[in-house]
A and B are shown apart, each in its own frame.
Chain A
Amino acid sequence: MALLELRQVGMRFGGLLALEDLNLEVPEGGLYGLIGPNGAGKTTVFNLISGFLRPTSGSIRLSGTELVGLPPHRITALGVARTFQNIRLFGELTVLDHVLVGQHLRGRARWWQAVLGLPGARREAREQERRAWELLTAVGLAEVAHEPAGQLPYGHQRRLEIARALATGPRLLLLDEPAAGLNPQETRELMTFLQDIRRRYGLTLLLIEHNLPLVMGLCEHLTVLDHGLTIAQGPPAAVQKDPAVIRAYIGKR
């Protein structure tokens, strides 16, 4: 069974059609890409999967569990984490705090146990801190752990957003234009990084990207959207030659 399965998902805003009849099956461990020109409805797909929007029709399932109608935090708890197109960090919180916030949903201690400083709660807090350091070391941000996130250089911010998402313990990671604003060198590093975390944490990745070389080099399977319609699906090599895709890209840009 596919890890993520979208069936005839449609979304309207008022009278405006943002997405129509999207079908998508992402197998466990897969690395899928969602591409298309600006305004094609890609970010809407992410907002639908992560529960920020409710589709007007269709179903979205994670390992068979229906996600439609669940609030975002429940969906994250089920194992879907995401990043944002325009990086959204917690400005003044430190890098370490970001990762700790990501782990918060896995905590078992209740608030009053934390306030009373009961041994169980303290042990859990120490354990979370240990795992946070582990994760920060793994993504190469341990050096800046006590810096406020808002003051990090751009590349670090992108990386921190992914680290924070990883801290929630996801099975499926949704990346919204992870390479936006990176130079070719950084983009190559990002590709290795994504392959690396995918292996290390046994992740399934679904990413939105504008950077075609990155998508072609990384993804196993692509879905191309244009104006909310699915115009092509398949392995990168096939999609690249699809006349509808060429039209959508060249015609629009």
Chain B
Amino acid sequence: MRGWRPGVRASSLAALMTRSTWLTLAAMALLALCLAAAERFGNEYQVRLLHNVAVFITLAVSYHLINGVCGQLHLGPNAFITLGAYTAALLTLTPAEKAATFLLTPLIWPLREVSLPLAPALLAGGLVAAGFGVLTGFPVFRVRGDYLAIVTLGFGEVVRVAANNLQGLTNGPLGLKGLHPLDSLWWSWGVAGLTVLVVHRLKNSSFGRAMQAIREDETAARAMGVDAFRHLMLAYVLSAFFFGVGGGLLAHLITTISPGLFSFFLTFQLLIIIVVGGLGSTTGAVLSAVFFTLAGEWLRVVEEPRQVFGLMVPGIPGLRLVIFSLLLLLVILFFRRGLLGRREFSWAALGAWLSGGRRSKSRG
């Protein structure tokens, strides 16, 4: 929101600030009201879709922090999401449910007997993922670019192999079933709101600027006294935390998880979301996450058999992904800046845009 021209004096700036604060609060209240209404009157399908939207906002905005703000092509979100999903799931299931699930190899001891409410379980999921982030951050940030992409891509593979083999912890290929479904939209939307707030604040802080400086020219940033490793690690671990929490939510939304569930395809979806939204724009990540969750739902139709003018048209598996990958290819080849480039939403910019003057859209 740093779109002020030098001409704007401090006093009017303060007035504008309060007005945009009010507008933001009003918008949030409106959103809350819509969610409350949806929860009350919406059908199961609609509520599920709203959960999905919120989880994807969480995941896309965390991904945007490391990939868009810091400019590091991290390809392992699915690994962190899997960790968060398993951790949260193992903590919320009751001992009896766990005993019924782990038939071949019993679950290891402390986990066998604990059962926690959702909130601490989600937090634990985030912390486990963040811990994995701290451990892996050291080898990861010894390299950049292509190497970083491949190492992080490997995490998904390693986590999948581990989940398949550590029977006493994950129940192996059978996975976990019968998780308690999310009982309120506030879980997913609360987490999404928190993630957006943290990432937005961080991006606009001195630390976020340093991260963007690393993205633009790491050598120059280091010469200006920026400790690249610490800043990248911060973004990486923080995003890992939110991936973990998001994974916990996703697990309780789907209610059945297995080792291969969160494959590289999930990472690919997140990548499309942030690229199309504009690499580096939090607003873009949010809007694009909403759009793609809904579009993905609509596009599901092409993969299902259906009636067209009385004819039975068979569904075509894979077509949705063909469309998605073509879209990503086209965006990266021809509209590299995506929807918003690196611009962010601000009320001032919205006002100017609505009144027809597109000139003063804020940069940043």
Contact = CB atoms under 8 A, between A and B. Distances in A.
A94 B210 contact: no
A81 interface: yes
Interface residues of A, number: 44
A73 B227 contact: yes
B217 interface: yes
Contact of A114 (B206, B213, B219): B206
Given A100-B209, A104-B206, A93 B224 contact: no
Contacts of A94: 2, 363-364
Interface in B167-206: 198, 201-202, 205-206
Interface residues of B, number: 32
B206 A143 contact: no
Contact of B217 (A88, A97, A104): A88
Given A145-B6, A148-B363, A128 B206 contact: yes
A107 B6 contact: no
A107 B205 CA distance: 11
A7 to B, nearest CB: 23
Given A109-B206, A142-B6, A148-B363, A90 B217 contact: yes
Contact of B224 (A71, A102, A107, A121): A102
B207 interface: yes
Nearest to B198: A115
A143 B217 contact: no
B227 A125 contact: no
A128 to B, nearest CB: 7
A92 interface: yes
A105 interface: yes
Contacts of B225: 72-73, 76-77, 102, 104-105, 168
Contacts of A115: 198, 201-202, 205
12 contacts: A52-B219, A72-B223, A82-B223, A88-B220, A101-B209, A104-B210, A104-B226, A105-B224, A105-B225, A115-B198, A121-B205, A146-B5
Interface of B: 2-6, 198, 201-202, 205-207, 209-210, 212-213, 216-217, 219-228, 234, 280, 342, 363-364
Given A71-B222, A128-B206, A146-B363, 19 more contacts: A72-B223, A73-B222, A73-B226, A76-B224, A89-B216, A89-B220, A90-B217, A91-B216, A92-B280, A92-B342, A97-B209, A101-B221, A104-B207, A114-B205, A114-B206, A114-B207, A115-B198, A142-B6, A146-B2
